[in-house]
Amino acid sequence: MAILHTYSTDHLRDGVLCTAKFVIEPMNSSAVTLTTSETFVGQIVQIGCSFSGSTDNTFLLTLTDATNGMQLFTDATMTGDVTPDNVNAGGGAYIRGTLKVDANNLGTDTATVTIYYIKM
């Protein structure tokens, strides 16, 4: 019943596509939150989501720039990948701080969420 921040890729140069991966363990409809210790600076352009099991799952996913208190993304029925056109209507979501990941109502499967962002 937790969110694990399994890895991030980061680069020294601006304009490089980076990733942050989170594994959300089954929580049987309870809420879990994780705030990263690392700072992200960039534009979130896509969100990947996959499940460990074969059952149909939906869950609430919210991403927040915890440093600045700005909600970047929310989807109450997260079921799979979020394409660039659907992250802030194609404009992406700019983050400059620690990332807070909230998840709720995930059933019995593990969800893996990969956040793709362009470093700035």
Upper half-sphere CA count for residue 107 (Cβ side, 13 Å): 13
Question: Which pair of tokens denotes residue 19?
Answer: 């990733």
CA distance 78 to 117: 19
- Per-residue confidence (pLDDT) for residue 85, from 0 to 100: 81
* Domains in the chain: ranges and CATH: 3-119 (2.60.120)
- Per-residue confidence (pLDDT) for residue 110, from 0 to 100: 87
pTM above 0.75, yes or no: yes
Q: Is the pLDDT of residue 84 over 60?
A: yes
- Per-residue confidence (pLDDT) for residue 42, from 0 to 100: 92
Interval 3-51: pLDDT, tens: 777 667 766 678 889 999 999 887 766 788 899 988 999 999 999 998 8
